[in-house]
Amino acid sequence: MKSIKDAPAIPNEVDIRETGKNRAEISAWPFETGYAVTLAHPLRRLILGSSVGYAPVSLKIDGVLHEFDSVRGMKEDIAVFIINLKTIRFKIKEELPSAVVNYSFVGPKEIKASDLANDEVEVINGDAILATLNKDAELNFTIEIRKGIGYVPSEDLRDEVDAEAIALDAFFTPVRKANYKIESVLVGDNPNFEKIVFDIETDGQIAPRDAFGNALETMNKQLNIFGNVFDIDLEATKTKGKSESALKTLLIPVDMLGFSARSSNSLERAGIKYIGELVLMSENEIKSIKNLGKKSLDEILSTLESHGFGEDYKLDGKIRADLIEKINQLKS
């Protein structure tokens, strides 16, 4: 017989796992039946549509009047040059909203994406080919790069860029793939719960974890309109949920993290049982664990990073206090 509920269950398990370069699997559970897909579908849309990236929006080449022109001594015509340029993934340094960058090359030279990196912009995919110049060629051009979301066709940008420049279709989205699947999960003796498993891959402009976090932030901001109307503090609810989730992860036993035998033995001898104990320690304190070699140290730091507790992570004061109290209770 089904027990009567007066509120849906709140999921309390989350897992983040790197599955490749710029690719991660993010899972959460347990959800009531039907809740998983209700949340997963709009989140996927937001991951794809609200992730911020950078793209060239205009191109100006000395001596070139339009995109069907050519440059003497350059193997590629301008149309191919533009196609190649669109494949290059830029990132403006200091996260500025835009940058206008000038370039000058003389042949013979194969111009790669890495040749476009300078003090103003980074290039993510440095091996991409832009153009090939023979020994008599000279190429001078200017690119305007902007920060944005989604896709903007060149027609919509013509009035916004330099009148002498060629407007480009702007592919801002740094997310290459965002898929999800719903799995059944057992809670107690009840098999009617669900688990969301997201598979996210980016082009390197942004980490999959950050793309997912940005989507969550966007969803929260969109929902706040209803919170304001119905007097619900969504921000407080979000903070509470985030704190509970972080504490849950911090209390994962270290013997469940898949450490090598050498690392596990060193941690066991040091009396360290939970991931939160490592998070509370500085890198120097972890280094000082007896018989912990460099390989084991790298393994531990990499595992902390994969669970969201890298060197940039700062423990919230309340979470720190709750964590210390809970660990003391568990180890007493």
156 shares a domain with 68: yes
* C-alpha to C-alpha distance for 71 and 77, rounded to whole angstroms: 7
Per-residue pLDDT, averaged over 220-227, amounts to 81
Owning domain of residue 1: 1-51+176-232
Cβ atoms within 10 Å of 81's Cβ, excluding its own: 24
332 shares a domain with 259: yes
For 120, the token pair is 């103003």
Contact 74, 139 (CB under 8 A): yes
207 shares a domain with 61: no
Of the candidates 184, 205, 203, the one whose C-alpha atom is nearest the C-alpha of residue 195 is: 184
Domain boundary among 123, 139, 171: 171
Of the candidates 20, 209, 171, the one whose C-alpha atom is nearest the C-alpha of residue 90 is: 171
Domain boundary among 151, 171, 191: 171
156 shares a domain with 261: no
Q: Report the range of poorest mean pLDDT among 24-38, 131-145, 207-221.
A: 207-221
Confidence of residue 67 (pLDDT cuts 50, 70, 90): confident
Write out pLDDT tens, residues 178-213.
999 999 998 888 888 999 999 999 999 999 988 998
102 shares a domain with 63: yes
Q: What is the CATH number of the domain that holds 81?
A: 2.170.120.12
Percent of the chain with pLDDT over 90: 51
Write b or e for each residue in 131-145: b if 16 or more Cβ atoms lie within 10 A of its Cβ, otherwise e.
Answer: bebeeebebebbbbb
Domain boundary among 128, 154, 171: 171
For 229, the token pair is 């109307």
Write b or e for each residue in 4-20: b if 16 or more Cβ atoms lie within 10 A of its Cβ, otherwise e.
Answer: eeeeeeebeebebeeee
318 shares a domain with 209: no
156 shares a domain with 242: no
88 shares a domain with 46: no
216 shares a domain with 265: no
pLDDT at 232: 65
Of the candidates 195, 181, 206, 154, the one whose C-alpha atom is nearest the C-alpha of residue 48 is: 206
Of the candidates 218, 293, 279, the one whose C-alpha atom is nearest the C-alpha of residue 247 is: 279
Q: What is the CATH number of the domain that holds 6?
A: 3.30.1360.10
Per-residue pLDDT, averaged over 255-272, amounts to 86
Confidence of residue 244 (pLDDT cuts 50, 70, 90): low
How many domains is the chain partitioned into structurally? 3
CA 211-213-219 angle, to 5 degrees, is 105
Position 314 pLDDT exceeds 80? no
Per-residue pLDDT, averaged over 17-26, amounts to 91
* C-alpha to C-alpha distance for 293 and 45, rounded to whole angstroms: 44
Q: What is the CATH number of the domain that holds 278?
A: 1.10.150.20
11 shares a domain with 39: yes
For 13, the token pair is 């398990």
166 shares a domain with 73: yes
pLDDT at 233: 59
165 shares a domain with 152: yes
Residue 6 vs residue 161, higher pLDDT: 161
